[in-house]
Structure 1
Amino acid sequence: MNSYDIFKKLTKGIKFDHKRFKDDFRKLGLEQPSSAVASNTLSLAEQQEEEHTGEHQGGEGGKARSKKKKKKNAQNDPQKQLMLQQQEIRRRRRQLGIQVWGPDVPAPLEKFSQLDTEHSVNSKLVANLEAQGHSVPTPVQAQAWPLMLQRRHILASAPTGSGKTAAFLIPLLQGLGGPRKKGFRAVILAPTRELASQIHRECVRLGEGLGIRAVIIANVSKAKQKYGPQSSQKFGECCVQSSGYLNPELGDLLVTTPNRLVHLLKESVEGPPLSLANVEWLVVDESDRLFEDGQRGFRDQLAAVYQACTGPSVTQALFSATFAQSVQDWCRLNLHNLAMVSVGLRNSASEDVEQHLQFCGSEGGKLHALRDILRKGYEPPVLLFVQSKERAKELFRELIYDNITVDAIHADRTQKQRDNVVAAFREGKIWVLICTELMSRGVDFKGVNLVINYDFPPSAVSYIHRVGRTGRAGRRGQAVTFWTMEDRPRLRRIAQVVQSSGQQVPQWMLDLKKPGRKEKKRQTTQQPERGHVSRAVQHETVEKRRKKQKLEKRKRMKIEGSEAA
């Protein structure tokens, strides 16, 4: 881009007489390029006047001649050709709901064949993509692929179920080229082990036939015990799950959670068991979750990973379904030549999900409302979100006797149990899955028809991710959110999200008092005390506590009696 192009961008929409200011243009070094035709020296007002005059000369014949003249001028004028191309690109972005920020953002792709013809992407990679049943790129893929193939840093936000995983995997697999004996050259971070496993499976499918070895950390302690400072060159089967290739001891691409990776990066007596010095790509999925502070956040671990990537050139890509301001500020401060992409309305739920907010009055009312939904008939699979693992256990005990194939997944279950539950849910053996916030991020369950927020989500971001488990990849879905008077302070923000997705909500919900900054932060970090799911569970808990107290009292009396004797 030369000085004239910069001047044109800064003065867009302003009419200048080029003849009158020709000397000033020359002094400032803003002369038009030699390829520009003489007609451009006319003022824009003069050109418009000539076109207007031509249209009125000879009626229809004058209009036809004017159109031919415009077309001829556009063909002969490189600047007008460029302007028309840019208008077409903007039109296509509007059609796809894409917004971009950053310098020189390339045009979005229209079809998969452009990956091969315009970006020289491996034909096997394109064939693997088409073999999964996709016909055209999704909006986030259409814009992210040309950016990442240029090795641009990118921050992308798109609705849940819009194909973000393939959006960063295709350029990453193409950029790696093939297997190399250099240790890991790409790292993909995800907030949960379930999401990391899902990304790993997708990576194996898309990379079939390329020879690239993708691995996922399965057991940190065994890896640290068995491998020394050179472990990045010889990861074995005890610490990773292989992609199915003949030689699992070498890895090109690592998929993991930040916490597990930090454990392997910590210094020991012999040095760190893992090196990221050769990393060329660093992808952060669900970036807004990983940038969160506090006990539930991953920001400290993420910082340790960034510091360990000491390679000369590391391309960074951050993806999420919600656009967090903190992530955006960090990227603008730390990433050079950054491009930002946003698809659809920011921080809104999918329009393919029919959403309902249902008042239940009390905890007992929520249980009655849930049983009413299940009794009237539902189409499995169903995801049921609760606030905590204790409530997940209680709700599971309530529903297990209701002739429903139900199970629960939460942090107290072992990784093997969690994997078995997820596999059974995917296979249709479990119809209703009770889960906590653990499963709201990124995990793609095919064909989830109904999401029930049994406990009100703590924030709008949480609501968007929960609801996003249904209505994926163009399918229709339904989401029902229960609320009680304890949830009223959070109701306004959720109602706004529902309205932004094109659905009706009562006006009084939108007119509720807006919480202040401190109150908003408190609502996000502190969840209300909800008590027990039902009176039966409460009675059972009280009885268990009484029995435990009696047992402890007997033991204490027995000890005191023996001491007295």
Structure 2
Amino acid sequence: MDAEDIFRKISVGAKFNKQKFLVDAQRCNLLKNKPTLGPLLGKREKSPSPVADEVTVKESENEDQLTILGSIRVSEDGSISKKKKKKTSSSEKEAQMNQEKINRFRNQQKISVNGKDVPKPIETFEELVETYNISEDLLQNIKNAGYEYPTPIQMQAIPRRQILACAPTGSGKTAAFLIPIIHHLKGPRKLGFRAVIVSPTRELAKQTHRECLRLAEGQGLRVHIISKISQAIKKFGSNSSQKFDILITTPNRLVYLLKQDPPAISLKNVEWLIVDESDKLFEAGVKGFRDQLAVIYTSCENPSICRAMYSATHTPVVASWCRKNMHRLVGVTIGVRNTAADVVEQQLLFVGNEAGKLVAFRDIVKKGLTPPVLIFVQTKERAKELFNELIYDGINVDVIHADRTQLQRDNVVKSFRIGKIWILICTELMGRGIDFKGVNLVINYDFPPSAISYIHRIGRTGRAGRPGKAITFFTEDDSVNLRSIAQVMRDSGCEVPDYMLRMKKASKEVRKQLEKKAPKRDRISTVPLHELERQKKLLKRLKLKKKQEKGQSKDENNVLESKARKGSEKNTKDLPKQKSKKNKNKTNKLLSKKASKKLTMKKKTKNKILRNP
């Protein structure tokens, strides 16, 4: 078989469209010259128009040229010709150059933005005076608060826009939304609340309140926080003088005031609505605040309101809601979403089982640790158990959880800030937004229920660029979420074993169950099980004895009282009334002394049993 035969077999059924590829057909002489009938019939051929001549000339010129990369043409001679580009004006060139500078600066600061007409980021706080005309007093307050240079989130978020911001823990998000609020409100007015900041916990709300007072000093703005509802109803009700501007609160307390009849607070003139830790507030269910947030959102009726959502972690639920409900939304993300700060040294430590956690912690203490230290556990019961174990180790340790009163929690936080407490045991309550300056170590005693929880927990250290360390204990039962947390660690630049990243992903149902319900764990205790059972039995016996003794003491008291009455009746016949009263008092005193002696003896025996079981 020749090459021609092979080509024929390959090209069977292929046709050459001579009309479509007329130029190529003419070059290859594939067209047959048909005889014209015009001269034979005596008809004159019409001369083509000059416009048609020009078109054919241009087409013939273009036919002999080959285009390369759009603007470059190569003729048959081999000469190269380029198309002339349109001349751009000097103003367009300047705009392009400025945009390139802005994009380069954003890339350096790891700022990514989404939206239309996004304002350029500021590089120094002094630019706020030039571009946004903020007052010199506010600029001085910013410097007095310790802010020398703006952080990346402050660079992009300070201009007034509806914003969805995601920035790492300790990156200055609080100042990023407080500065534009204080600048925009300018001064006090008798219009009621014009800015509302919603936080998930009372501790975080108090921290925001302190920061707002520092930045608003000398501005005349009235900043309030709802501490007691009874006082709030009197302060903010319809009969109040409306001498307030900024409200910082938790969602439950604000919703309670809004649902009063008539409402105990008005949000009609609110110009700013800030949702701090938005991913937590958007959670549904018992632990979430989505229903309360909906009530607050509908109560803010001002059409020109500016809303902003801030958090260290990004969730698709918040993002989709913001895109639907917020006009001209600007999305700002600092660094990689859902990652920890790169200044935190992270470590995963395998401890085998629950008993190994206490051994590992005491080993860390022996090697030496620099306080202050935060220890996270999953429930308040486990927090109490760990506190009872560590209190006898000679360490200044305390515990904070939801069962403690607000006064106790405030005192614990204050003493931890001062340095009286070295180690603070806490639950997820303290994992959101609270800024303890100088926390050197965070220990996840119980494995976090999700990657988001892990990011917020370890975010209590490494604040404002300071270095920190986070150690996470894990057992064989914690393998469900191990892969997701190892991924977070790798994204933030930490070394992680390869086998952790190769583990299977947990299903959505399993992850949701872990977030809702904490897994069952063994009791935190160094006392053996048989001794614990023995102590329980002893306590039961003591309780039974107490009940029996109470019954006996009541019977004895009744007998003694009856005897005393009979004796007093006999004596009253011979003695005056005043003496009978004195006798009664004496008998009562004797009875009370006997009862108190018995109680003290019982307490002593109980303490001896507990000390030496």
Place the TM-score, normalised by the shorter chain, in its bin.
0.7 to 0.9
Question: CA deviation digits over 1:161-201, x for unaligned, max 9?
Answer: 00000000000111111001111111000000000000000
Match of 1:142 in 2: 155
> Cα distance 1:44–1:214, how it changes in 2: closer, same or farther (>3 A)?
farther
> Cα distance 1:451–1:48, how it changes in 2: closer, same or farther (>3 A)?
farther
Match of 1:275 in 2: 266
Deviation (angstroms), 1:461: 0.3
Match of 1:179 in 2: 188
8 A Cα contact 1:190 1:258, kept in partner: yes
- Aligned pairs (5 A) from 1:112-123: 112-123=125-136
SS at 2:180's partner residue? helix
> Cα distance 1:143–1:507, how it changes in 2: closer, same or farther (>3 A)?
same
Structure 2: gaps of 5 or more residues? 1-67, 75-84, 555-613
Q: Is the aligned partner of 1:448 residue 2:457?
A: no
8 A Cα contact 1:231 1:273, kept in partner: no
SS at 2:138's partner residue? helix
Match of 1:523 in 2: 514
Match of 1:13 in 2: none
Q: In the aligned structure 2, how far is the partner of 1:349 from the partner of 1:517?
A: 22
TM-score, with structure 1 as normaliser: 0.80
Q: 1:260 aligns with which of 246, 253, 256?
A: 253
Match of 2:331 in 1: 340
> Cα distance 1:533–1:193, how it changes in 2: closer, same or farther (>3 A)?
same
Match of 1:319 in 2: 310
Deviation (angstroms), 1:479: 0.3
Question: How many residues are paired up?
Answer: 479
Q: In the aligned structure 2, how far is the partner of 1:265 from the partner of 1:292?
A: 21
Q: In the aligned structure 1, how far is the partner of 2:106 from the partner of 2:73?
A: 28
> Cα distance 1:450–1:539, how it changes in 2: closer, same or farther (>3 A)?
farther
Q: 2:380 aligns with which of 356, 369, 389?
A: 389
Match of 1:29 in 2: none
Quick one: which amino acid aligns to residue 289 of structure 2?
F
Question: CA deviation digits over 1:15-52, x for unaligned, max 9?
Answer: xxxxxxxxxxxxxxxxxxxxxxxxxxxx9965999xxx
Q: 1:458 aligns with which of 446, 449, 468?
A: 449
Q: In the aligned structure 2, how far is the partner of 1:328 from the partner of 1:178?
A: 33
Match of 1:161 in 2: 170
Q: Is the aligned partner of 1:127 residue 2:135?
A: no
> Cα distance 1:533–1:121, how it changes in 2: closer, same or farther (>3 A)?
same
> Cα distance 1:487–1:266, how it changes in 2: closer, same or farther (>3 A)?
same
Q: 2:201 aligns with which of 192, 198, 213?
A: 192
Quick one: which amino acid aligns to residue 167 of structure 1?
A
Match of 1:210 in 2: 219
Deviation (angstroms), 1:395: 0.6
Flag the structure with larger Rg. Answer: 2
Q: Pick which of 172-181 and 553-562 moved more.
A: 553-562
Match of 1:3 in 2: none
Q: In the aligned structure 2, how far is the partner of 1:547 from the partner of 1:181?
A: 66
Q: In the aligned structure 2, how far is the partner of 1:47 from the partner of 1:253?
A: 63
Q: In the aligned structure 2, how far is the partner of 1:544 from the partner of 1:327?
A: 51
> Cα distance 1:560–1:492, how it changes in 2: closer, same or farther (>3 A)?
same
Deviation (angstroms), 1:522: 1.9
Question: CA deviation digits over 1:68-121, x for unaligned, max 9?
Answer: xx9xx77x4222221221111111111100111111101111111110001111
Q: Is the aligned partner of 1:468 residue 2:459?
A: yes
Deviation (angstroms), 1:493: 0.5
Match of 1:378 in 2: 369
Q: Is the aligned partner of 1:230 residue 2:225?
A: no
Q: Is the aligned partner of 1:298 residue 2:311?
A: no
Structure 1: gaps of 5 or more residues? 1-42, 50-69, 235-249
> Cα distance 1:189–1:543, how it changes in 2: closer, same or farther (>3 A)?
farther
Q: Is the aligned partner of 1:95 residue 2:86?
A: no
8 A Cα contact 1:232 1:275, kept in partner: no
Question: CA deviation digits over 1:506-531, x for unaligned, max 9?
Answer: 00011111112222222222221012
Match of 1:367 in 2: 358
Q: 2:244 aligns with which of 251, 254, 257?
A: 251
Q: In the aligned structure 1, how far is the partner of 2:202 from the partner of 2:307?
A: 21
- Aligned pairs (5 A) from 1:490-509: 490-509=481-500
CA RMSD of aligned residues (A): 2.7
Q: In the aligned structure 2, how far is the partner of 1:162 from the partner of 1:48?
A: 54
Percentage identity across paired residues of the two chains? 55
- Aligned pairs (5 A) from 1:102-113: 102-113=115-126
- Aligned pairs (5 A) from 1:77-96: 77-96=90-109
TM-score, with structure 2 as normaliser: 0.74
Q: In the aligned structure 2, how far is the partner of 1:198 from the partner of 1:228?
A: 22
SS at 1:372's partner residue? helix
Question: CA deviation digits over 1:440-490, x for unaligned, max 9?
Answer: 100000010000000000000000000100011111000000001111111
